[in-house]
Amino acid sequence: MGSERARSADLDVTPEAAFQAALGVAQHEKKYEIRAVHNEGQALIIRQKTKALSWPKVIMLRVHQNGSGSSVNVLVQNIPGGPTALLDGVFNGKIAEKYLGGIQGTLDGTVTAPATAVTSHYVRDDGSELPWDDPDELPEF
């Protein structure tokens, strides 16, 4: 898709700490709805709720080991099959940058977003919750 945007950041913390910060940001931001969590694979799929003059977005996040630290990769795109606009790519890039900023703020203590432990799962469109077994395979929502 032409409007998807990816951003990444290398952090001087363990992948576990980076993932917990990312999960905390998702849990404490009212505009985010967590659709999938994979603790062992350190992956998140989040839906950004609709607001005036915007369409819902999907945020996919993955944390990887990078030397003694970690690398956080964030991809933001429009809901597949949903409407698009000319500036979606610009806005999606800003959403990814803001999410990475929230993670960094949580890690350095300027943002309070402690993570609450959850099991690895995904939430289907009908509201049912199922285990997410393989973080390399996208769940069937």
Helix (H/G/I), strand (E/B), else coil: 19:
helix
Query: Do residues 20 and 115 touch, judged by C-beta distance below 8 A?
Result: yes
The domain segmentation of the chain, as residue ranges, is: 5-118
Q: Tell me the backbone φ, ψ of residue 90, rounded to 5 degrees.
A: -65, -50
How far apart (Å, rounded) are the C-alpha atoms in residues 15 and 50?
A: 30
Residue among 10, 6, 5, 39 nearest 104 (CA): 10
CATH 3.30.530.50 fits 5-118, yes or no: yes
Cα of 94 vs its chain's centroid, Å:
13
Interval 64-99: pLDDT, tens: 999 999 999 999 998 877 777 777 888 999 999 999
> pTM for this one?
0.91
